[in-house]
Amino acid sequence: MVEIEHLCKNFGSLKAVDEVSFGVDRGEVLGFLGPNGAGKSTTMRMITGFLAPDAGRVRVCGDDIATNPLQVKRRIGYLPEGAPLYGDMTPRAFLRFIAEIRGYRGKERELAVDSVVEKVNLQPALEKPIDTLSKGFKRRVGLAQAIIHDPEVLVLDEPTDGLDPNQKHEVRTLIKGMAKEKAIILSTHILEEVDAVCTRAVIISAGRIVSDSTPAELLARSRFHNAVSISIRANTVDGMAEAFRALPAVDSVEVLEAKDGCVRLQLFPAGDAAIAAAVSELARERNWALEELHLERGRLDDVFRDITSGESAQSRG
């Protein structure tokens, strides 16, 4: 539904976006990741037609944004970074305005506003000026204006930024609920979010795509993927690390902590091996009192740092 080909944008001598290409289909939630200033917002602004690219093409459902901007803009719902809103309006007046621009008139307009208000739970704030609302409500108004016309493509620039954990959860639930029938692009720098809502993760750094994979594949690239952390009730760590390291599937062992009669170890597998069963069996054989055994799926922030830090250091200096 969304096809982006060789998109470039320069600001002076800075290459903000450099040869970015990807596609998003219906049912996909594409997480757009990258450090601040990597070019996420600039890319989204080009997809939504706010900025014109220096080179490359954006097509939405077959229409090119450069030649047919209105057609494309009709199909897209967009939440810009920071969810800017007309602060002196009430959410109702604001949503009516958006609905009218989106082509709803009279009764249809009221229906569109009412149904979107229900979808994002905006009723309690409907008649207060937007400026006086809490951050959570403001963000809901921003989301409401983006989805009021039930767009085929949804572009959300940091939809959960600055929200508290409950509000984040609400927004994610809302996005997941819409994911099936839309193509969604959302940018974030919160990695747990990618794992929670995205079906695909594109990582961008210094304007270039450095990784395009599923969240699971990203996790698999982590050093901690399939690693096991254990706590054993024991006064001394002597011999333990060696014993675990002797297991064929275990590559290396790190002692994390040894105090108050409790030893914590981190065991890394050789390759993709599953080591949890072997580890617990060994502990039982040796009569070590196993307090806790935890299988790690991988640490996204590690992978993220690995992928983005080298790149950005090179080209940004």
Q: How far is the CB of 59 from other proteins (least distance, A)?
A: 16
Min. distance of Cβ 138 from other proteins in angstroms? Answer: 12
> Which member of 73, 138, 182, 208 binds other proteins (CB under 8 A)?
73
Task: Name which of 34 and 53 has its Cβ closer to other proteins.
Answer: 53
In the block, which residue shows the tokens 């082509």? 103
Q: How many residues bind other proteins (CB under 8 A)?
A: 29
| β-pairing verdict for 183-188 and 29-33 | parallel
CB closer to other proteins out of 74 and 297: 74
**If binding is defined by CB under 8 A, does position 186 make contact with other proteins?**
no
| SS3 track for the chain | CEEEEEEEEEECCEEEEEEEEEEECCCCEEEEECCCCCCHHHHHHHHCCCCCCCEEEEEECCEECCCCHHHHHHHEEEECCCCCCCCCCCHHHHHHHHHHHCCCCHHHHHHHHHHHHHHCCCHHHCCCCHHHCCHHHHHHHHHHHHHCCCCCEEEEECCCCCCCHHHHHHHHHHHHHHHHHCEEEEEECCHHHHHHHCCEEEEEECCEEEEEECHHHHHHCCCCCCCEEEEEECCCCCCHHHHHHCCCCEEEEEEEEEECCEEEEEEEECCCCCCHHHHHHHHHHCCCEEEEEEECCCCHHHHHHHHHHHHHHHHHC
Residue 107 binds other proteins, judged by CB under 8 A: no
76 binds other proteins (CB under 8 A): yes
**Is the CB of 4 or the CB of 278 nearer to other proteins?**
4
66 sits near other proteins (criterion: CB under 8 A): no
Strand partners, 203: 33, 211
Per CB under 8 A, 37 contacts other proteins: no
Shortest reach from residue 60's CB to other proteins, in Å: 12
Q: Nearest 5°: CA angle at 156, between 57 and 39?
A: 55
Quick one: which segment of 73-81, 267-275, 289-297, 304-312 binds other proteins (CB under 8 A)? Answer: 73-81
Residue whose C-alpha is closest to residue 175's, from 158, 126, 219: 158
Q: What is the dihedral of CA 285, 288, 293, 299, to 10 degrees?
A: -100
What letter represents residue 9's amino acid?
A: K
14 binds other proteins (CB under 8 A): no
Please pick, from the candidates 21, 23, 62, 88, the single residue that binds other proteins as defined by CB under 8 A.
Answer: 88
Q: Restricting to residues 142-181, which ones interact with other proteins according to CB under 8 A?
A: 145
Binding of residue 67 to other proteins (CB under 8 A): no
Among 7, 18, 32, 78, binds other proteins (CB under 8 A): 78
Please identify which residue in 26, 74, 297, 316 interacts with other proteins, judged by CB under 8 A. 74
Nearer to other proteins, 97 or 288 (CB): 97
If one asks whether residue 51 binds other proteins (CB under 8 A), the answer comes out as yes
Exactly one of 14, 25, 27, 50 binds other proteins (CB under 8 A); that residue is 50
By the rule CB under 8 A, 100 interacts with other proteins: yes
Part of the chain binding other proteins (CB under 8 A), chosen from 86-94, 113-121, 175-183, 277-285: 86-94
Q: Which residues in 188-247 contact other proteins (CB under 8 A)?
A: none
Instruction: Give me the residues that bind other proteins (CB under 8 A), please.
Output: 11, 45, 48-51, 70, 73-74, 76, 78, 80-82, 84-89, 93, 97-98, 100-103, 129, 145
